[in-house]
Chain A
Amino acid sequence: MEVLFRILSDTLQTFILYFTIVICMSYILLAILSAREMIFYIKKSTFINYKALLSSPLTKSVSIIAPAYNEGLNIVDNIRSLLSLYYPNFEVIIVNDGSKDDTLEKMINAYDLEKVSFALNIQIPGKKIRGIYKSRNQAYNKLVVIDKENGGKADALNAGVNVSSHPIIACIDVDCILAQDSLLKMMKPFMEENSRVIATGGVIRIANSCEIEDGRLIKVNMPTQFLPRMQVLEYIRAFLMGRMAWSRLNGLLLVSGALGFFDKEIVIACGGYNHNTVGEDMELVVRMRRYMAEKKQKYRVVYIPDPLCWTEAPANYTILGRQRNRWTRGTIETLLIHKKLFFNSKYGLFGTLSYPYWLFCEWLAPLIEFFGLTFFIMLAIFGQISWINVIALFGAVYAFAIMLSFFAIVYEEFSFRQYRNKRDIFKLMYNAVVEPILFHPLVVYWAVRGNWDFLTGKKSWGTMTRAGFQTPKKK
């Protein structure tokens, strides 16, 4: 029995050790690739003349689709902000997804809307559309409002796709703050790549404590609260280090639901957003990629590192926990729906590298971390391994985490430098030091809970409340 236990213990120890080494190595490789991609992007950006895009009749047009559910409080400002984006040829489609508050009435009154006769071509089926509205005022001619029965975010986005009239669709969260030039930058890849670009994703930044006025970002500030500040670092690491590298490899599986641009033709050919998952953003990208690979067509999914989309991050533990729980369930659902991709060389790098990476490093890593930690502590308690070695191992992982976060801060500093104040850099570095002890265990816990909820069949989104943005005091 003791021999069996020893063999089992040794095997598990070796597995966890090698798994940790592989994960750390993959992070280093991604960081290197990301740095190369970022340098190329920044150098390239110095030559871009956006005036050409703004004034040309050849510019590709885009439909912005923003689902709104009970957004009565801010919807009028949010729409105004969207209508004022710099781009020559776009429409803004707001989908009122059966709101129970006065979202629709506020839009009708503020923008002088009336119901129009719209010959709808239903290409993706969904809940019933009650009406389509346009403004009587020529100044708001870019605005389209859809009123429909409640069907969730995926269904609302699909309704928007059915109504949209342009070849590219931009799916966004209506309460996000978009930079004025975000359309210019996000649309450019659709025009410049020689292989077909089926989607572009943008970096999401944390807007907590930033100054926002009339739906526009006035001043970037470091969040004052603990949780949003931790998420600043987390987002910089994930977006600037992770996704840029995957963009270079053309292996991106996720374009954030808060800001994603898609080739409408491919979205429709794939059947649109999936209603049956809480990770509809990731699922759509994976399905689109799968579709293109199966059709043997060359394609790319591109990421734009500029700080274009600012969102309010959850500032309390319950809401953040729900969000992370949902992300975990969404990842699992997507990976299981597309399990055929696992190490499937037919799908190229997408099947042989991206999918396994997400499986092992995004889904399973928190579980292995959790059980590995418990296992090593148990071994130490039962005297099978020295406490000193356990602590030294954790110390190495901790030092690695700090180093990785510092790399992310360097990326931020040498690229877009949103936090110009030296004190903010110190704060970020302090976050990097305390994050592995104070924040990361929570992230792992929420991921484990997400796995549990998935196993027990939980399907809901969970209520997400927001505190709202800070408006500068008028002098």
Chain B
Amino acid sequence: MIEFLKNLYANSGDQELFLFTVVLIILFLFIAITLFFSIFYFRIRADYLAKKTEKQKKKYELLLTTIAFEAEDENPNEPSDKIARMINHFQKNYLSNDFNRKILAEQIIGLKLSFTGKVGLVLKQLYVACKLDQDDIKRLYKGNWHTKALSIRNLVAMEIREAVPHIRKLLNHPIEVLRLESQVAMLRLEPERPFEFLSVIETPISEWQQLSLSFYLDPEHNSENVPQFERWLHSNNESVIIFCAKMIGLYKQSKAIPTLINLLKHPSEEVRLQVIKCLGLLENDDACQHLIAKYSSENHKSKIQILNSLGRIGSDEAVDFLSWEISNKTQPLALAAAKALNISGFKGYEYLHETLKTADDELSLIINHALDERLA
């Protein structure tokens, strides 16, 4: 082979070019072969790790299940000798290396998510006694964003409220995922004041974050302690105002209406749009005149939203305005007004039917569209 290459080298016109290309060929093929073997190496390694994990999990599973059953009859604040011995057993035998600690933590967290009450408390005691919570807290300071986020999840699952000051430091982290995890942690670990972080948040809350936060605020997950979101309507962070307006609408916090009406003058279009939507959801007659007053100066998107909100409010004033607006020459506005009339109540609905009798083709089409529930 070497002789062959030497011959080629001697006979090639440009020997430097030849040498260069041969080196490249060898390099590329070497990398390709390494990649080839790496795939199979990692597959074998993954299989080995999966088996090892499974074996370790089974070992812990039995012990943890025993603890869980023992705990049913225990006073959770004073674990019996038996449980204390078991905790001692864990501390001595299973925490020697990172792999074991990781599997144990996963197992405890898995069980904790399935159990509440006494069993949950004992599992938490075990987690703390094994200093697994300290591992998580340490990782909040030295790991990459992914490790930090995972640690937050563990701490939330185990309800380690002592971690709150440490997690709070990550509320304005540049990585959105980590910010969201820390915000959710605040909701779950401080249920008595779940949205305090809105006062300190400097980064925008994306729609995704807003959606996730509202999900965890859902009574099923959190909280009897839904705060009065009006508190944050004066925030300097526009996304905080938008989020709070959404929550006010969702939880029908009518006390916020005067502040919301003031926000109709906010310089941000997005804020105004959300406020208009929120006032519609609150269905309060007082907002009607303010919405009508704003109508002419707003952009197309906000105008459509004002019409929709007026339809939801459904007061006489709103219906009168919508009845007039149905003849608007801009077709989407006329259609939005007709749709709003249809949802405004009996008066609006009747008006549509009356108008239909004398309407020209264009208006008939709009009214028929609005009246067809399938096109709502």
> Which chain A residues have a beta carbon within 8 Å of chain B's beta carbons?
43-44, 46-47, 49, 51-53, 55-60, 116-119, 121, 134-135, 141, 188, 190-194, 385-386, 388-389, 392-393, 395-396, 399-400, 402-403, 406-407, 409-410, 413-414, 422, 425, 429
Contacts and interface: CB of A to CB of B under 8 A. Distances in A.
B32 A402 contact: yes
A396 B25 contact: yes
Given A44-B177, A392-B18, A117 B372 contact: yes
B330 to A, nearest CB: 9
11 contacts: A47-B153, A49-B215, A58-B214, A191-B206, A396-B24, A396-B25, A396-B28, A399-B32, A403-B35, A422-B43, A425-B39
A363 B6 CA distance: 39
B289 interface: no
B206 A51 contact: no
Q: Specify which of B146, B153, B374 lies most central, judged by the most chain A CB atoms within 10 Å of its CB.
A: B374
A399 B29 contact: yes
Contacts of A422: 40, 43
A393 B21 contact: yes
Contacts of A407: 35
A134 B374 contact: yes
A406 B368 CA distance: 60
B31 interface: yes
Contacts of B177: 44, 47
Nearest to A39: B146
Nearest to B203: A194
B375 interface: yes
Contacts of A116: 369, 372, 374-375
A51 B35 contact: no
B23 to A, nearest CB: 9
A88 to B, nearest CB: 11
A100 B18 CA distance: 61
Contact of A57 (B42, B250, B374): B250
A51 B212 CA distance: 9
A392 B17 CA distance: 9
Nearest to A43: B146
B365 interface: yes
B335 A121 contact: yes
B211 A53 contact: yes
Contact of B374 (A52, A141, A389): A141
A392 B207 contact: no
A195 to B, nearest CB: 10
A58 B32 contact: no
Contact of A409 (B31, B39, B215): B39
A118 B208 contact: no
A194 B204 contact: yes
B208 A188 contact: yes
B358 interface: no
Contacts of A58: 207, 210-211, 214, 246
Interface in B69-116: none
Contacts of A55: 215, 218
Contacts of A192: 176, 206-209
A121 B211 contact: no
B259 interface: no
Contacts of A400: 24, 28
Given A49-B212, A49-B215, A402 B366 contact: no
B369 A118 contact: yes
Contact of B335 (A119, A395, A396): A119
B39 A385 contact: no
B49 interface: no
B32 A406 contact: yes
B225 interface: no
Nearest to B144: A43
Contact of B28 (A194, A389, A403, A409): A403
B128 interface: no
Contacts of B176: 192, 194
Contacts of A386: 11-14, 18
Given A58-B210, A403-B29, 20 more contacts: A47-B181, A52-B216, A53-B211, A58-B214, A117-B369, A119-B335, A191-B206, A193-B206, A386-B11, A386-B12, A386-B13, A386-B14, A388-B13, A392-B22, A395-B21, A402-B28, A403-B32, A406-B32, A410-B35, A413-B43
A407 to B, nearest CB: 6
The 4 closest A-B pairs by CB, nearest first: A386-B13, A399-B28, A52-B215, A117-B368
Nearest to B374: A134
Contacts of B146: 43, 46
